[in-house]
Structures are given as C-alpha cells and as structure tokens.
Amino acid sequence: MPSNPRGVFSLIIINKAGGLIYQREFQSGLRNLSTNDYLVLAGTFHGVHAITRSITPKIPIAQPAPSTTSTGTAAPAASGYSYPNPGVPVSGLDYLETDKFRLTCFQTLTGTKFLLFTDPLTGGVDAIIQRIYELYADYVMKNPFYQIEMPVRCEAFDRHLGAWLRGRT
Amino acid sequence: MGATSKPAILSSSAMFGSMSTLNNPNLLKMSYYFTILSPTDTPLFNIAFGTSKGGGDGIARFRFPETAQYMNQFIIHSSLDILEEAQWTNGGMYLKHIDTYPPAAAYITAFLTPSGARFLLLHQPPHLPSSTSTSGSIGSSSLLGTAGSTTRASSSSIAANPTSPQTEEAVRQFMNEVYESYVKTAMSPFYKQGMEIKSPVFRSRITAAGKKWL
Amino acid sequence: MAAPHRHATMQSMSNGGISSGSDRPQQHSQLSQQSPGLRVPSNRKTIYDRHLNRTRTAELSRASFAFLFGEMVTYAQRRVTGIQDLEKRLNEQGYPLGLRLLDLLFYRSTSTSSSALSSSSTSSSPPNRPLRIITLLHLIHGPLWRLLFGRAADALEHSVSPDTPNEYMITDNDPMVNTYVSAPRDMSMLNCAAYVAGIIEGVCDGCGFETKVSAHNQPTELWPSRTVFLVRFGDPVMEREKVLERAGVK
C-alpha cells in the first residue's frame, strides 16, 4: 500500500444535479480556487461527464454468430452494435491522468459523484474511494440533520475522513 | 375433568392426603381472584378461578357469590397500603403473603414487577361443613360467624392454609409465569404501560398458569 | 355470576389443548370464543409464543438502527420550537422504552442462570428490585447499558457540590446513538443522546425514583462525542433515601 502523505490532494463531491456539495483539500500548497471556481469546476465536470457517457463508443457485434446466447440477447440484433461490456451500464469518464495529478471519478448508484485528485504515482485509488464512499454513507447519509442533495456539513464526516487519510500516512 | 393428571409439585401430595382423609372434594378447593394493578392503582387485568390441583374443577366458589365481584376488588385494594410499605423493605419481586382479611377469610399474596405493576392474588378457602348451620345463610349479616370458622379451618389443615411454604412456592411459580406473559405484553409496541390488558391470549395464558400451579 | 362464564372458558381451553383434532363443533365453539378484533398471524404465533431470551440470533445491524434513529430525530424535529423542545421530544420517545426494558432486564436475569445483575446485588439467584439510589445507578451503569449497547457505561460519579447531593452523573465516552450524528453548528448544544436520557428516566421512574435526566456534551480530545447524563433525583426520593438508610435497607 503506498502510504505517501502526499497521495491524496483533494476531494470533491458533486450531487446528481451537478451542484458542488463538498470540497476539501488534504494537501497544502495547492493553488487556491475561490468557492465560485469550485462550483464552476463541479458544474463543468458534471457536463463533461454526461458527454463522455453519451459518446462511449460501441463496437459491432460479430455478425455470423447469432446463436451465442449472451451477446445475441443482450443487444438488439437490429442495431448490430454493443458496448464493449454489455452487462455493465455506461459509466462515462472514469479517470483523467496528467503528469501532475490523476483525477478519479466514482459515481454512486444514486448519481452522486466523488472526484478524487491524487498524485499520479498513488496506487490503490479505488480502495481509497471505496473507503471515502463508506465514510460518506455512514457519517453523511445516516446523519439525521443532513438534507439530501444539500452541501455536506457533517463534523463527524470531516473528522473521520481526516483521521483516516492521516492514518494512511 | 382433564386436570387430574398434571405433574405433581411438592405440595400436591400433602393436599391430596389431607383431602382424602376429609373425604369431601369440595372442602379444600380454594377460590382465587387474581388482579394486575398498574403503578397508579388502575386495574389492568382480573380473573377469578378455583383450585385445579388434585381433581379440582377450576371454578371459583367465593363465600358470598353476589358480592364477591366487588368485595374481592375491595379487599385487594385495601391491601395496597401494606404492599407499598413492604415494597421498600423487601427488594424481592415476590413478596409472598402480605395481608389477610379475616371477615372474608381472604389472603393476599403479592408480586411486584420492577416497573411497578403489582400482581395480587386473593385466595379464599371454602367453608367448613361443620359451620354450615350458621353460615349457610349467605349475606353480610353472617360475617362474624364465618370469620370464626375460618380461623379454625386454616389452622386445622395445611392444604387450606395459604401461608404454608408449599402454597407459597406454588404461587411463586404461578406469579413467575404471569410475569413472563406480562413482560411479553409490555414488549408489544401497541401496549403502553397502564393500559388494560385485553388480549384473549394473555387471559388464556393466565388461566393455564392457574391450572398448572394452583 | 362470573363463575359459569369462567367455567365455559376453561372448558374450551382444555379441549383445544388436549387434541388439535377434536370434533368440529368444539372447534367451532372455540372460534366463537375469540374476540372478533383479534387477528392472529398466519403462522399462528402471537407475541406470547415468542421467547424473550433469544438474543443471539435476533441481533440487528447497527446501520438499520442508525437509519431508524435518524428518522426518529427527523420526526422529533418537526415543528419544534428549539433545541430544548427537540431534546424533550427525544426524551419522551425514550421514556416508555425505559419502562419496558426494566421488566425485560429483570426477566432475563431471573430466567438465565448466570445473573446479569450480579454486580448490583450480592444475593445470588433472584435479582432484587433496586431500593436505594446507588443500587439503581449501578443497575443502569452496568446491566442496562450492557443490554442496550453491549458494554457498561464509562463512569458513574456523584456530584461533589454540597448544594446538589441529588445529582449523579453517568458518562458514556462514545454513545452509540450519536455515532453517525453531527449536529449543525447552530445547534451545537444539542445532544441526541437525550433519547438515552429518556430511557434512563423511564428506568428510574419505573423503579419508583422520580428523576429528571438530561444529556450534555462534554467532548475531550480523545472522545469527541463524550456525553454526560445528569441524573437529578426528586426531593421525595432523597427523603425516602434517608429513611431507608436509617432503617438499614440495602
């Protein structure tokens, strides 16, 4: 497990309408963005994500093998095209990598998106996101004072998130 | 009746022995009146029944049938003062025999749940046949005569004596079973403390407990 | 007057108990005995057929409790006038539970051989109803907390101030009900463990100790949701306590 303290840069949570509901930095020295910029970033990403989902390329189905049950039934034969993995719904943008950072996007079943900015060398990002999702499910969704789709202001979530990321270091 | 072949407890042999010697099956059949009172003295549940042990038919035969219904309640409620005194000196739940009401030869046994509900059992031994001539006429006028006869009755036979250890043990078992059913009632989300217990299942459980132990 | 009726009831009872394959007319009479409002589950098992001691297999997930409690808080929050009002409502939700738990706690400790109340009473098998304040508080601190949360509470203290000899404090470093609760900043005084305070109040009241219990935040570095339950006994209780002490009641 790479436990570089600089592994995780920042976390953004976007609700299903594209609004920014949580933003936190875990690394000093990042360029400061204003709250407005964060809102714009969240909205833009939401749009980009929707576009990437609709432009997910389809591949042609092998024509001469209609008898194989799995592909034959999953995609309508009329179209002749199918997603690379027919059993999985289209997810859109999963990650974006540059030489300075890696942006990983995780979308929950209800459409909430977690954006995690990490060092490109950090491994096991999926596990990190899973854990953050877990903390979110526990300390945000089970909090009686949290109103759904609204900005997250849960002291226990902040505390546990910080403690866990620090614990990794 | 089907109640004869119940498993015997300690006291039943003694009861049986004395009964056969007296050779009057009606003689040692106790009459019971059981009630549950809320901590604020509201009656939650009432039932009257008689001895089922040793061939008893389980029917209550109170001394003064016309007045029994409210007299029993009156006697039980009058023992509450004593109960509330005993409550703070004895930490047990089963407080045993706490009060006697000589005019009706009624004995009161109490059980207190931790949450303050009181289970009160009134036992009344039957008439002695020897005194039938005087107390045969039923009514309030013969109160004194009956009192005299009962003191003799309770001293002469253990089985009819509600304060004997065997009786106390049987009542303890009875109370424990009632307690179990009561806790189950209290656990129901539709039951609030202080509500009358109307469940016919509860009533049948209490009847069964009475048949089993008393 | 009542006797013939009882007799009939018992007759039908014994018929039903002896054999299920009894004659049809008897069954019919038994059915007609049932009150019309009674509805029995399809498996014929009422609450009276359940065991009160089966706890191992009946454990609930913490998440479902958290969601339920969350909804309870949300429900209590409707049309409240302030934090105190909200805490009062939570307290009222807990109170009846305290009364019930008291009976269940004693039932379980009488029916199981290893007495769960042994810490509170020196006598062995039948647990005693608490008569004195200290016994009661030990009952809450130990057995009750274990029944509710699976562990004892973290501290039990008596007020040091001579003005308030009727005040006791029970501390829980990390109350289970508050695990996932973060109160908004403008309600920082709120402690949802007011619900637990209501349970304690129910237990005390049930035992005959008139009490007011409130929950207070006392966070420390290590325990951010540390909660102190302040138990204030009423004057009649304190007077009785003196009498019982003189009488040597334990």
The string of pLDDT tens digits covering residues C118-155 is 444 333 456 788 889 999 999 999 889 998 888 899 99
Beta carbons of B122 and B33 less than 8 angstroms apart? yes
- Contact between A143 and C182 using a beta-carbon 8 Å cutoff: yes
Joined together, the tokens standing for residue C23 give 């004659």
Query: Mind telling me how many Å the CA of C58 is from chain A's nearest CA?
Result: 22
Q: Is residue A3 part of a domain?
A: no
CA distance C45 to chain A (A): 34
A 10 A CB-CB count for C247 gives 9
Q: Are B159 and B15 in contact (CB under 8 A)?
A: yes
| pLDDT single digits (tens) A112-163 | 999 999 988 888 888 999 999 999 999 999 999 999 889 999 989 999 998 8
Neighbouring subunits of C (3+ Cβ pairs under 8 A): A, B
CATH number assigned to the domain with residue range B31-126+160-213, chosen from the 4 options 3.30.450.70, 3.90.1150.10, 1.10.10.10, 3.40.50.10490: 3.30.450.70
Q: Does B189 touch chain C (CB under 8 A)?
A: no
**Cα B44 from Cα B119, distance rounded (Å):** 10
Residues of chain B numbered 63-82 and touching chain C (CB < 8 Å): 65-66, 68-69
Q: Provide the pairing of β-strand B106-112 with B118-124.
A: antiparallel
Tally of domains within chain A: 1
Query: What b/e sequence results for C51-63 when a residue is b if at least 16 CB atoms lie within 10 Å of its CB, and e otherwise?
Result: eeeeeeeeeeeee
- Find which of B184, B198, B203, B205 to mutate to test the C interface (most C CBs within 10 Å of its CB): B184
CB atoms within 10 A of CB A129: 18
- Chain C residues whose C-beta is within 8 A of a chain B C-beta are 1-3, 6-7, 9-10, 13-14, 17-18, 33-35, 38, 46-48, 50, 52, 96, 99-100, 102-107, 110-111, 121, 126, 128-131, 206-208, 240, 244, 247, 249-250
Using CB atoms, pick whichever of C2, C100, C129 lies closest to residue B93.
Answer: C129
- CB < 8 Å to B58, chain C: 6-7, 10
Beta bridge partners of C167: C232
Q: Does C245 touch chain A (CB under 8 A)?
A: no
Highest mean pLDDT among A77-91, B6-20, C29-43, C99-113: C99-113
Residues of B in contact with C10 (CB under 8 A): 49, 58-59, 207, 211
Please report whether residue A154 resides in a domain: yes
Inspect the interface and report whether the beta carbons of C128 and B59 lie closer than 8 Å.
no
The CATH number of the domain holding residue A110 is 3.30.450.70
Contact flag A156-C181 (C-beta cutoff 8 Å): yes
Whether residues C126 and B94 touch (CB distance < 8 A) is answered with yes
What is the residue-averaged pLDDT of chain A? 82
pTM over 0.80: no
For residue A28, being part of any structural domain is answered with yes
Pairing of strands B94-101, B43-50: unpaired
Residue A96 lies in a domain: yes
β-pairing, A95-97 vs B43-50, is unpaired
Residue A78 resides in a domain: no
Residue A13, both tokens? 């949570």
Alpha carbon distance B23, B27 (integer Å): 8
C3, C6, C131: residue with CB nearest B91: C131
From C74, which residue of chain A is nearest by alpha-carbon distance?
A: A144
Chain C contact probe: residue of B115, B124, B202 with most C CBs at under 10 A: B115
Span B27-40, mean pLDDT? 84
Q: Give the mean model confidence (pLDDT) for residues C170-190.
A: 89
At residue C61, φ and ψ (nearest 5 deg) are: -75, 150
Q: Is the pLDDT of residue C34 over 60?
A: no
Collapsing DSSP to helix, strand or coil, B128 comes out as coil
Min Cα separation B158/chain C (Å): 26
Is there an interface between A and C (3+ Cβ pairs < 8 A)?
A: yes
Among B34, B119, B183, B207, pick the best mutation site for testing chain C contact (most C Cβ within 10 A): B183
Q: How far apart are the first and last CA of chain B?
A: 15
Q: What are chain C's domains?
A: 61-110+129-247 (3.30.1380.20)
Q: What is the mean pLDDT of residues C230-249?
A: 90
Between C192 and B156, the more confident residue is C192
A52-73 core/surface letters (b: 16 or more CB in 10 A; e: else): beeeeeeeebeeeeeeeeeeee
Q: Poorest-confidence range of B77-81, C48-52, C75-79? A: C48-52
Contact C66 A139 (CB under 8 A): no
* Averaged pLDDT for residues C163-185: 90
The answer to whether residue A74 sits within a structural domain is: no
> A touches which chains (3+ CB pairs under 8 A)?
C
Residue A22 confidence (pLDDT): 93
Interchain pair B93, C126: CB under 8 A: yes
Q: Is A63 part of a structural domain of the chain?
A: no
Contact B91 C96 (CB under 8 A): no
C78-C80-C85 Cα angle (round to 5): 130
Higher pLDDT, C59 or C10: C59
Q: Where are the alpha helices (DSSP H) in B40-118?
A: 65-78, 80-87
Q: Do A156 and C63 touch (CB under 8 A)?
A: no
Average confidence (pLDDT) over B10-14: 41
Residue C33 belongs to what H/E stretch?
helix C24-33
Binned at pLDDT 50, 70 and 90, residue A94 comes out as confident
User: 130-159 in A: which are within 8 Å (CB) of C?
Assistant: 138-139, 142-146, 153-157, 159
Secondary structure (3-state) at B111 = strand
B177: exposed, middle or buried (Cβ count in 10 Å: 0-12, 13-18, 19+): middle
The β-bridge relationship of strands A8-14 and A113-118 is antiparallel
Taking CB atoms and an 8 Å cut-off, how many pairs form between chains B and C? 125
Q: Which amino acid is at A53?
A: R
C188 vs A43: CA distance, rounded Å: 32
Angle, CA of C190, C193 and C194, to the nearest 5°: 75
Domain around A16:
8-56+85-167
Residue A13, pLDDT > 80, answer yes
Q: Is residue A70 part of a domain?
A: no
Q: Are B123 and B162 in contact (CB under 8 A)?
A: yes
Cα Rg, chain A, nearest whole Å: 19
Task: Please count the CA atoms within 13 angstroms of the CA of C74 that sit on its side-chain side.
Answer: 14
- A60 touching chain C per CB within 8 A: no
CB B147 within 8 A of CB B166: no
State whether the Cα torsion A147-A151-A156-A161 is positive or negative.
positive
Instruction: Indicate the residue of C70, C77, C224 with minimum beta-carbon distance to A142.
Output: C70
Please, which pLDDT band fits residue A26 given cuts at 50, 70 and 90? Answer: confident
Q: Are B130 and B136 in contact (CB under 8 A)?
A: no
| Closest CB to A145 among C179, C183, C225 | C183
Angle between helices B200-213 and C2-18 (to 10 degrees): 90
CB B179 within 8 A of CB B93: yes
pLDDT surpasses 50 at B120 = yes
How many other CB atoms are found less than 10 A from the CB of residue A22? 22
Q: Which residue has the tokens 């009002």?
A: C85
Kindly indicate whether the ipTM for this predicted assembly is greater than 0.85, answering yes or no.
no
